[in-house]
Chain A
Amino acid sequence: MAKKVLVKGVEAIALGALEGGCECYFGYPITPQNEIPEIMAVELPKRGGVFLQAESETSAINMVLGASAVGARVMTSSSSPGISLMSEGFSYLIALELPCVVVNVMRGGPGLGGIEASQGDYFQAVKAPGHGDGRFLVLAPYSCSEAYELTARAFELADKYRNPVMILSDAILGQMKEPLALKPLNIKNYPKEDWALTGAKGRPSRVIKSLFLDSRELAERNLKLKRKYKEMEREIRYEALYTGGEKVIAVAFGSMARICKEAVLNLRKKGYEVGFFRPITLFPFPKKVLSKMADLNSEGVKFVVFELNCGQMIEDVMLSLCGKAEALSRFYPPSVLPFPEDIEKELKKCLKPSGSQKA
């Protein structure tokens, strides 16, 4: 039997990182994720690992870069403003093909914003973590046990694709407590001997670089990364409930998905035919799955996208549907957190014949 503990989401993330074989942690304090560095500061030295609090997020992400270049399993964690500060480093990590795990426990923005939950960093995470044409593999847990499992798995995926993996969480999931079974996850190791910098012993010296002044070389590097993002589609994860022909399907990720799922299950008990779809990988986005769901109901299905921001994931849903089905945006800016009953009300409105609805 796996040991059971009662933990916050951020604690589950730290425990997941340890299960994933994290050797080094570099970070800078910011609410609401300070439990992650605090746990790592206690646990990593016990296991022969490295914990260091940097003087800024920019330094932290470049410490990650150095440790990754020499083959260590390394991570950092932060919250929205801190993630922005790291974005130049993210771009370098992607370009240098250096694996690492980045946790963003999102808070409200823009600017200093607040410390309430938000999903305002969706675009930043999935479209442009840094300058240039680079992407993260982005995983969005919605429970403490999923936060544990996905964080551990993130280390494996980062090594597998030699690309940063982001855990996109938020203040609700981060700060809520749930029971967690600490099951062993058998996280795979991928050999790094063929690229890591270990000193040029018994082999020619190696360079890990992202400067390509020869335009053909730079184009090739970009195309190589593009091929890698295509390969990452093998990792697509999602949860779909009652999506076989329902007229209205609620779409949400992370904490918002938790609220929506409860609303959908409540409505089903009352006899309403509504479905639920939750992307777990936000990049790559489960586009084909959504597209097929639209095909299943030729009479027209409405996808209602619920988000804790001013409408971001709605764009990816619309792109996935390619006009085959209607996509409606229901958005809640920071501090306007809906109850499941609010979601139920919205979904019931959408079940009425269209014409009276506004997108």
Chain B
Amino acid sequence: MPEAFRFPKSLKKTLFHYCPGCHHSIIHRLLCEVIDELGIREKTVGIASIGCSCFLYFYIDVDIVEAPHGRSCSAGTGIKRARPDLVVFTYQGDGDFAAIGLGDSLHAASRGENITAIMINNTVYGMTGGQVSPTTLPHQKTTTTPYGRDPKREGYPLKVAEILAGFEGVAFCARTAVNTPKRVIQAKKLLKRAFETQLEGLGFSYIEFLSACPVNWKMDPLSATRYVDKLAETFPIKVFKDRLSEGKT
């Protein structure tokens, strides 16, 4: 009988601290499964950023360094340039990657740094209590857009994947979600593809997860998970670029 379930070797046997209905734990697990399947646990260095996922190292059993807010892609650049044999990933929120760290992120992508950047897009600053972020939807209420995000005042949602897809240095660019079982399976394939792109030395690989933040969205876990479909109307779930596959055809 084929094996139906196995606890990933790279996932530490501990309880997640994340809120009920948060998607971090699902994505952490997928990340660990991918690291195990590619056999790269012993040569991977992860970068924990600022936000709820700062505690990445409580759960993922690889070498990890903390970077200041927004600077993960720069720290990743330093690691990969100094030790090209290591596999490097960043794990950042939309505030970290696309607000304070947008410069670092875009330049690392433009240089084609051979690292994998994972961006968790839940449209709010989760850890600080749900403030507006660059990816907040128009009219979405947050603690700092209490009347809803008015594009005339707070601008429009920043579509990071769409920007990165046009960069020469970017070899893989996709947006995915984990709010349905089918999407979880698809997301894992894409995450694996992002790491394979790095292993092939093709350049910057970027994968964005539309993710639920029930507490800050003021929703129950089920409604928040369903609401991810609403995010997908503004942020289409799509593979924007996959140079690895292009090379194979």
Q: Which residues of A contact B (CB under 8 A)?
A: 23-24, 26, 50, 52, 54-56, 58-60, 62-72, 74, 88-89, 92, 96, 197-202, 205-211
Contacts and interface: CB of A to CB of B under 8 A. Distances in A.
Contact of A207 (B42, B57, B67, B78): B57
Interface in B72-130: 74-83, 86, 103-104, 107
B66 A198 contact: no
A308 to B, nearest CB: 32
Given A63-B81, A70-B79, A92-B66, 14 more contacts: A24-B81, A58-B71, A58-B103, A59-B77, A63-B78, A65-B71, A66-B47, A66-B80, A69-B65, A69-B79, A70-B78, A71-B82, A197-B79, A200-B44
A66 B42 contact: no
Given A55-B107, A89-B71, A96-B66, A199 B79 contact: no
Nearest to B63: A197
A92 B68 contact: yes
B45 interface: yes
Q: Which of A70, A198, A206 has the most CB of B within 10 A?
A: A70
A88 B68 contact: yes
Contacts, number: 136
B11 to A, nearest CB: 12
Interface of B: 41-45, 47-48, 54, 57, 61-68, 71, 74-83, 86, 103-104, 107
B17 to A, nearest CB: 11
Closest 8 CB pairs of A and B: A66-B78, A63-B78, A62-B74, A66-B75, A62-B71, A201-B42, A67-B82, A72-B82
A211 B66 CA distance: 8
Nearest to B84: A50
26 contacts: A23-B82, A54-B74, A55-B103, A55-B104, A56-B103, A59-B74, A63-B81, A65-B78, A66-B67, A66-B77, A66-B79, A66-B82, A68-B78, A69-B78, A70-B79, A72-B83, A89-B68, A198-B63, A198-B83, A200-B61, A200-B63, A205-B57, A205-B61, A205-B62, A209-B64, A211-B54
B43 A67 contact: no
B78 A74 contact: yes
A70 B75 contact: no
A147 B222 CA distance: 64
Given A67-B78, A74-B78, A62 B64 contact: no
Contacts of A197: 45, 63-65, 79, 86
A206 B57 CA distance: 9
Contacts of B62: 199-200, 205
Given A96-B65, A197-B65, A205-B61, A70 B82 contact: yes
A55 B101 CA distance: 12
A209 B81 contact: no
A88 to B, nearest CB: 5
Nearest to A51: B81
B68 A26 contact: no
Contacts of A208: 64-66
A57 to B, nearest CB: 11
Given A72-B83, A199-B45, A63 B75 contact: yes
A66 B41 contact: no
Nearest to B104: A59
A206 B44 CA distance: 11
B222 to A, nearest CB: 30
A96 B68 CA distance: 11
A92 to B, nearest CB: 5
A50 B78 CA distance: 9
A69 B82 CA distance: 10
Contacts of A26: 78
Nearest to A66: B78
Contacts of B107: 54-55, 59
A338 B99 CA distance: 47
